[in-house]
Amino acid sequence: MTDQKIQIIVIEDQELARFGLMVGLPKHSSKLEVIGEAETGEKGLALVRARQPDVVIVDLGLPGMSGIEVTQQIKRQYPQVKVMVLTVSVEEAHVLSAFDAGADSYCMKGNSIGLIGMALEQTYEGNHWIDPAIAKIVLRQYQVNLANQRQTQLISSQETSHAPRSIVNSDNNSANLPVPKPMEPVEVEPLTKREVQVLELMSEGLSNPQIGHKLYISAGTVKSHVGNILRKLCADTRTEATSRALKSQLFERYQQFAKHSS
């Protein structure tokens, strides 16, 4: 009795890359079998529908339907099928979007065929293979999500403690109220009141000296606050920090928290 092979479909727009995977993977391991390949997302989905593979390799930079959309469609229609993203991108937005779409693993194209094969086997077995090149991004996102959850629970607790008695059930079922889901990664640790003030003025496009003038503090102190804000929001630039704050409704959350705390 022969061992069951891991059936793979490759969705990759570069012909040379497709050929390399089709030839190299079976040579690396007799467990791996490429049963189909496609150069576009649309053709790839049709192939997945027809062949029902174990694992699909998806390139993010596909023409037409993107690799993110392909991943979403596969996981929505065929949740049992594993998806391994194979790409050159280490951009945070791409990494997080891929996992949000349902990708099981994320591997870089620069890896050897042996490492890609190992990642495929791990993915097939139900593990999440994360390329070391993007591990820091995934870890940081986990830390951010954990901080978001704690912050949301804190705000929810404050709201419950200030709620009118008439809406709290006598059997203490208020704990079953739905907790709002964070819209976007926010801070890894809470901002101070002063940091929120600085961030609000940053969002208005003010420079450090201008912020200092408005808050009656030195430009050096503002610079120190900005550094703390970037660190807490896991942002590299002022623009990225303000964008995350606005998308996550951070200012509204802190205003609400301050109102309940007063």
Which parts of the chain register pLDDT below 50? 1, 165-185
At 143, list the tokens.
């830390």
Q: What is the pLDDT of residue 98?
A: 87
pLDDT of residue 213: 92
Query: What is the reported pLDDT for 128?
Result: 86
pLDDT of residue 171: 42
Per-residue confidence (pLDDT) for residue 186, from 0 to 100: 53
Q: Domain 140-160+182-261 carries which CATH code? A: 1.10.10.10
Domain 6-130 matches domain 140-160+182-261 at the CATH topology level: no
Structural domain boundaries in the chain: 6-130, 140-160+182-261
pTM over 0.75: no
Nearest residue to 137 via CA among 95, 183, 79, 98 = 95
What are 122-144's pLDDT values in tens digits? Answer: 999 988 888 877 777 766 765 66
The pLDDT of residue 99: 86
- Residue 24 pLDDT: 95
- Residue 43 near residue 10, CB atoms below 8 Å: no
Taking domain 6-130, whether its CATH number is 3.40.50.920 is answered by: no
Helix locations, the chain, DSSP H? 15-28, 41-51, 67-77, 92-100, 113-124, 135-161, 193-203, 208-215, 219-232, 238-247, 250-261
pLDDT (0 to 100) of residue 103? 92
User: Residue 258: its pLDDT value, please?
Assistant: 57
User: Tokens 């949740």 identify what position?
Assistant: 79
